[in-house]
Amino acid sequence: MSPLSSVLEYLKSGEVIAYPTEGVWGLGCDPNNADAINKLLSLKRRSHEKGLILIGSKFEQFVEFSYVQEYKDKLMTKWPGPHTWLVPSKKTLSHLVRGNHDKVALRLSNHESVCELCDSFEGSIVSTSANREGKPTLTNPNDILEEFPTVRILEGELGGNKKPTTIQDVDTDIILR
């Protein structure tokens, strides 16, 4: 496992990182770097059509990608914390993050490691579970390195959540997960 400074350098250079979240280990990258997103999708063997989550430490980190300002009061009823909202996406957001959708999945975290990472990066990051598509999520750094030897892993501990975060559509209130 690596300290924040090393992981941050790796993230800024367009590489994929791993880090602890509220419930599972995540894989992430810079949402403004198409090469990095393609690396992440390739590692996971995941189709770009599904879309990915953006995770952040500050509400403002989502403004460039989505219309969060229009929904702020509603979003803040569940944030910060382990709740993912689907919010209308701005067209400037890469289709690699948005997938085949007009909304983007956003989570404003209160997990210490995620907040330190996003604060230091000065923005949100792409976030997805540390596993290959259709396989169980990897539960420890050694397994992550074995499966994904090119990632750099941020030191830290998982939060106490035992299940994936809820995903809810901000317009319809439908819970998708």
In the predicted model, what is the mean pLDDT of residues 66-86? 98
**Structural domain that includes position 61:** 4-169
User: What tokens appear for 26 in the block?
Assistant: 């995540």
CA–CA dist 145, 131 (Å, integer): 11
Specify if 29 maps to a domain: yes
Task: Convert the pLDDT of each residue in 82-140 to its tens digit.
Answer: 999 999 999 999 999 999 999 999 999 999 999 999 999 999 999 999 999 999 999 99
Specify if 83 maps to a domain: yes
Specify if 177 maps to a domain: no
> How many domains does the chain fold into?
1
CA–CA dist 152, 18 (Å, integer): 6
- 22, burial (CB in 10 Å: exposed 0-12, middle 13-18, buried 19+): buried
Q: Which residues of 86-124 are buried (b: 16+ CB within 10 A; e: fewer)?
A: bbebeeebbebbbbeeebbbbbbbebebbbbbbeebebb
Specify if 136 maps to a domain: yes
- pLDDT band, very low/low/confident/very high, at 144 (cuts 50, 70, 90): very high
Specify if 73 maps to a domain: yes
CATH of the domain at 144: 3.90.870.10
CB 7 within 8 A of CB 17: yes
DSSP E strands: which ranges in 121-169?
A: 125-129, 152-153, 166-169
Residues counted in the chain? 177
Q: Which residues of 144-162 are buried (b: 16+ CB within 10 A; e: fewer)?
A: bbeebeebbbbebebbeee
pTM of the model: 0.96
* Residue 136: cis peptide before it, omega within 30 degrees of 0: no
